[in-house]
Amino acid sequence: MSGLSERQKAGCTEILQSLAEPDLLALKDTVTNRMITVESSQEALHAILAYSQSAEELLRRKKVHRDFIFRYLAKEGVVLPPTSEKHQLIKTALDYWGPEGTAVQAPKPSGRAVEAEGRAETAPGRGEQAAECQALGDQFCQWFFQLLNSQNPALGQTRQDWGPQHFWDDARLQFCYSTAEQQLEEYRGAELVSLRLLALARDEQLFLSPNLDPRGLKCVSSAHGLVVVAVAGTIHRERKCLGVFEQVFGLIRTPTGPNSWKIKFLNLKIRGQSALEGGEPVPAPAVTYEPSELRLFCG
């Protein structure tokens, strides 16, 4: 009897469907010790699931390449750096299939810029207000980077609804990037801002992986309703880390709904590996702005 739960079977089925038929049949022979004869790929898949002792054992098989697991997780909205090793992907998949689905899953966009728990009407205390602001920033970043990364054709994800509708008409983007030398670009208007960001993922095939722990994410809000979200992370192309980024968003609630927000401005700074000290890989990136500096954006 299979040692896989129903959720594990469903997930492993999607992953195994990435295998070419000869590899699937070879994997069936390995798992069943050539004791089971099949007449189709579908029968081979059922035999693999039935005779595997556990999901972990199955995912560790050589025929189950790490790229298959990564693409499955990306499709499910589980955000991981493309440089993740196979054992990390397996652990994340097993967590995701657990009783509570403990892996970090990006929320599904609903056609509005982002929805978050907004309870400003209750006039919370300063500590509660800061916690709510941080929660909004965390949820926004999960939504934004999942949406942007889905435009990257190398990830094999279903493209989500990217476009100018997520930005205010007078949105502004400042884009500074340092490789061999520093370059600065500026774009104004929802259409141009949307297209330039889209080009990063779709045309340059960059994957932005945010660091959402307290060092990598900071948020402040103004009395006039502007929420400033600063996040740091790493940038990848396929399995190579190209550098780090730091991005500041200005969010304003829309009048169309109590929990709907659009992006007013973005400041994006990218440092390539050659611009980093010694060209060495860095630990999880941290936001360099202090809260007092982020409040200056509110002006």
Residue pointed to by tokens 């009048």:
255
Q: Determine the CATH number of domain 120-296.
A: 3.10.450.50
Please name which of 54, 14, 7 lies closest in space to residue 31, comparing C-alpha atoms: 54
User: Domain-by-domain residue ranges, the chain?
Assistant: 6-96, 120-296
Say yes or no to pLDDT of 159 above 70.
yes
Each residue's pLDDT tens digit, 34-47: 888 888 999 999 99
DSSP 200-233: HHHTS--EEEEE-STTTEEEEE-TTSEEEEEEEE
> pTM for the whole thing?
0.61
Say yes or no to pLDDT of 270 above 60.
yes
Instruction: Tell me the C-alpha to C-alpha distance, in Å, between residue 184 and each of 177, 181, 269, 287.
Output: 7, 10, 9, 20
What are the tokens at 99? 């009783």
Say yes or no to pLDDT of 87 above 80.
yes
Contacts of residue 285, defined as CB under 8 A and 6 or more positions apart, other chains included, come to 211, 216, 232, 233, 234, 244, 245, 246
Each residue's pLDDT tens digit, 55-78: 999 999 999 998 899 888 888 878
Say yes or no to pLDDT of 275 above 50.
no
pLDDT at position 197, please?
96
Instruction: Tell me the C-alpha to C-alpha distance, in Å, between residue 121 and each of 117, 125, 258.
Output: 12, 12, 10
